[in-house]
Amino acid sequence: MSNRAEAFIDLTAIAANLKKLKADSGTSLMAVVKADAYGHGLVPVAKAALAAGADWLGVALVEEAHKLRNEGITAPILAWMVSPGSDYEAAIAANIDLAVPSLVIFKEILATGKKARIHIEVDTGMTRGGFLDEWAEFLKSDFSSVEVVGIFSHFARADEVSEKQNQDQLEKFKQAIADLAVIGVNPRIKHLSNSAATLTNKSAGFDLVRTGIAMYGLTPDLEHLGTSKSLGLIPAMELRAKLHLVKQVPANSPVGYGATEFTSRDTVLGVVAMGYADGIPRVAKFAGVFIEGKRAPIIGRVSMDQFVVDLGPNSTAKAGDFVIIFNNGAAGEFTAEEWGSASNSINYEMTTRIGPRVPRIYVYE
């Protein structure tokens, strides 16, 4: 029996995107697989990325890194959202590299008495993670009991290619590297570039680029960088669901909670077996599904487990048919970018929010 909803993940597309990004960057590459590989599946994607040539894996949480280690993955892994009170000893024992963004984290790691592999995170202008006001004090630290593998930061506006802040951040990053060199600390891996910078700013590549969204075949920014297709990327996820019900309805029929919309004519409506519990945004407007070679728009509010689409008066669709929610758009389907825009959000959120009730099915084309 087929699923009511399913996400097909093309691991061949992920591999192709990764190979392109690595070749274009001219340096080593970290495949970012945090957040269940942006909703695509942590372990299968990590293994596919390594097979395609990824040099490192990047995760947000130490728990994600442990899951990879428990699956037999031995490649270098960096976890960068290391919270105070973390089980550093278990991470060190599992050979997981840890980000150090603050004095409290650094002191807690030192207190373990174990030789940790660390990457120093500096705040160069994102004003989010990394050292800023504590930097001068941190430089007075004793680094003899840790292995400083890397130093890194994160661009805030790499998708806006001509934005001056990008150059400012690059210069601040170089200054932080120089500050460490003065005290005899020379990290061998310096990394700054995210997907947008990897695609647009080769001068920021240093020793390693970190590719997340682009590896999954999605544009880092639709407005400033264009579509996935224009960037030469192949979207890896196709999301589809069954029509739970199909019914003929007269004109002026109210649809959904709050009766926010009414049918404009006699038509055929389809009830799609996914809702906001599965990751379909309740706020989505001007999105829909693809069936019978055309688009069918959402009508009414998205519910927890279902939403309604207007199939049109001449539709011959029937209950049990699958509709495509988003794909690569080659046949006219909605894309993750379009769904993101329709939800006043971005494609990142569309893939990462797809819930666990939707099975991932892995395909190799």
From the list 20, 22, 34, 190, the catalytic residue is 34
276 is an active site residue: no
Residue 365 contacts residue 320 (beta carbons within 8 Å): no
Q: Catalytic residue among 107, 257, 285, 294, which?
A: 257
Closest to 321 in 3D by CA, of 244, 247, 250, 227: 244
Q: Tell me the one-letter amino acid at 301.
A: R
Quick one: how far is CA 97 from the chain centroid?
20
Residue 50's Cβ-side half-sphere holds a number of Cα atoms within 13 Å equal to 16
Q: Is 38 a catalytic residue?
A: no
The Cα 218–Cα 196 span in angstroms is: 11
DSSP codes joined into one string, 48-79:
HHHHTT-SEEEESSHHHHHHHHHTT--S-EEE
H or E, element range at 290: strand 288-291
Q: Are strands 77-79 and 97-100 parallel, antiparallel or unpaired?
A: parallel
Radius of gyration of the chain (CA): 23
Q: Which residues are catalytic?
A: 34, 257
